[in-house]
Structure 1
Amino acid sequence: MDKAILTCALTGVLTNPQQHPVPVSPAQMATEARDAFNAGASVMHVHLRRQEEGQGHLPSWDPDVAAAVIGAIRAACPGVIINLTTGTVGPDIAGPLACIRRVRPEIAACNAGSLNYLKIKDNGDWAWPPMVFDNPVAKVQQFLDVMAECGTHPEFECFDVGIVRSVGMYLKAGMLKPSMGTPEYNFVMGVASGMPCDADLLALLPRYTAPGSVWQATLIGRGEIWPVHQQVAELGGMLRSGLEDTFYLPGNERATGNGVLIEALAQCARKAGRGIATPAEAREMLRLQEAAPTS
């Protein structure tokens, strides 16, 4: 595809706003989204944070918080596409489903398989207690059913090669309804126990996607991710960055916010001879339904 859709991942899950410049409040999220939108991002990937004093490092599944944050972003960025997170551990997904139903995002992340979610320190201690990010097929189907109900397009997040291949089985099984748009894969690279952020591996992954699908890559790390972003652009993938994924610009300079990260991402697309998709063009490429107003 000759135009690249740019996605900004605004804030992430647990990053402490007292230590890093991540937005939390609706006003902060809107300001960061506007900077990214002006730099070329058509899509905002949104995580929700607790709004109580001192709790901004914790996730929220409060539909009122979702409505306030999404409403502020849409007001600041006319025509922007919202991509709402859904990732949660365990079988209780009532919170994410309630948020989808409340704000009816054009896109929602659909974590497409399970992963031992691990990180180890240099001294051999676990960075956090070993856990399973559990996404069995029945859980994936629950999310897809509500997304279909709400006119929301799933972005299949794939943390490992086997998960990429599983998406093809979901499509063959009819789990993605025709009304839900173009099949879309997100190759998540850089989680310590998932796929590494490796250019050689990236070059292989598109061959395992379904015909007619769209793919992008989420690259987690520091300055070493930027040559891989460039390869994504050259291979025809869609591009994503933001403070959820990195705090570093090319050359390992610290990013001051989301806008400068999207400016660097746009440069990758332009170096590959590609234009930047507008929100209207991105909607057409992904065959998205129109956004419902946030109440």
Structure 2
Amino acid sequence: MTKAILTCALTGVLTDPAQHPVPVTPEQMATQARDAFNAGASIMHVHLRAQEPGRGHLPSWDPDVAERVIAAIRQACPGVLINLTTGVIGPDISGPAACIRRVRPEIAACNAGSLNYLKLKDNGQWAWPPMVFDNPVAKVQQFLDVMAECGTHPEFECFDVGIVRSVAMYVKAGMLAPGHVPECNLVMGVASGMPCDADLLELLPRWLPPGAIWQTTLIGRAEIWPVHQRTAELGGMLRTGLEDTFYLPDGQRASGNGALIEQLAACAERAGRTIASPDEARTMLGIRPHRGDTP
């Protein structure tokens, strides 16, 4: 089987650092990234947080913040690949586009389709007002154009089966710039998207574009770990981190990203796979050689 690329999703969006051990500042992000890097992660998936006191639970699209955070991570983790988030509601992509142009990440997330983003409480009340995470084809194309301009590899985020199938159509329609290996991130566990289910996972690779690499993002608690193991056994790439879960396989809360990546590496090893280095991950994804440790 192919080597396993490990991605660490360092912090996510909106999680309150006053309640959870999520990193916010460049120094905190670099420290958590270094722990994950030492545990085997070759890619850091980065969300940016507001840096003002008391606002660290809010997202930021300030290119200066992006530059400071990415520079700190690259210095702490020589050779690491950066995967920058881009998710925004509405048609205005100027914030994430400016951040991509400033730091030129090796990879950027490209949300590949729209989703009714819902969550229901046990009492039947909405956890937040029902909303649409809107990613029409024209918006997807805008992001792909910015990524192509900056030499950034797109990772297609797929929250539902129809979105997986849409990516195959994007590739066939010529939306993906020549030379890029199609990559799909199968996001499972969002309440109104695909469930975190090993039986469903086994079916999904048949709908991928030809020659695609795929990974899973699994949202939840201890129940996600058997599906991580099945991902490893099926040949998928692996991702976890404090964006996706706070819990280790035994149900205990993780102390940080390094502990989560250690468990992810163990999944790969049980499946008989070795862990890809950053340079090996670049080769597998068709990304050009390392650019250095600064944006």
Give the TM-score band, short-chain normalised.
over 0.9
SS at match of 1:116: strand
SS of 1:155's equivalent?
Answer: strand
Counterpart for residue 102 of structure 2 = 102
- Deviation string for 1:108-145 (max 9, x for gaps)? 00000000000000111110010000000000000000
Q: Is the 8 A contact 1:105 1:291 kept in 2?
A: no
1:188 is aligned to 187
Deviation per CA, 1:223-275: give whole Å up to 9, x if none: 00000000000000000000000000001111000000000000000000000
Whether the 8 Å CA contact 2:42–2:281 is kept in 1: the answer is yes
Q: CA deviation at 1:24?
A: 0.1
Structure 1 unaligned segments of length 5 or more: list them.
none
Partner in structure 2 of residue 231 of structure 1: 230
Q: Which residue of structure 2 aligns with residue 78 of structure 1? A: 78
> 1:289: how far off?
2.5
- Secondary structure of the 1:240 match is strand
Instruction: Give the corresponding residue for 2:214.
Output: 215
Query: 2:172 aligns to what?
Result: 172
Paired residue for 2:259? Answer: 260
Shift of 1:218: 0.1
The match for 1:25 is 25
- Are 2:79 and 2:290, in contact at CA under 8 Å, matched by a contact in 1? no
TM-score by length of 2: 0.98
Deviation at 1:178, TM superposition (A): 1.4
The aligned counterpart of 2:126 is 126
* CA positional deviation for 1:292: 4.9
SS at structure 1 position matched to 2:147: helix
Q: Does the Cα contact within 8 Å between 1:116 and 1:133 map onto a contact in 2? A: yes
Specify whether residues 61 and 292 from structure 1 end up closer, same or farther in structure 2 by C-alpha distance, changes over 3 A only: farther
- TM-score, reference length from structure 1: 0.98
CA–CA distance in 2 between the matches of 1:235 and 1:152?
A: 27
Tell me the matched-pair count. Answer: 294
Local SS of the residue matching 1:282: helix
The letter of the residue matching 2:3 is K
In structure 1, the partner of 2:145 is 145
RMSD value, Cα: 0.9
Inter-partner Cα distance in structure 2 for 1:214 and 1:142 = 23
Change in 2 beyond 3 A, CA 1:138/1:69: same
In 1, the alpha carbon distance for the partners of 2:290 and 2:91 equals 28
Aligned mates of 1:178, 1:77 — CA distance in 2: 29
Name the SS for the 2:200 alignment partner. helix
Whether the 8 Å CA contact 1:10–1:243 is kept in 2: the answer is yes
Q: Secondary structure at the match of 1:192?
A: coil
Kept after mapping to 1: 8 A contact 2:4/2:275 = yes
SS at match of 1:262: helix
After TM superposition, give the deviation of residue 291 of structure 1 in Å.
5.3
Separation in structure 2 between the aligned mates of residue 66 and residue 253 of structure 1, nearest angstrom: 32
Code of the aligned partner of 2:54: G
The one-letter code sitting in structure 2 at the alignment partner of 1:182 is V
- Give the drift of 1:67: 0.2
Q: Percent identity?
A: 79
Give the drift of 1:2.
Answer: 2.3
The answer on whether the counterparts of 1:152 and 1:289 sit within 8 Å (CA) in structure 2 is no
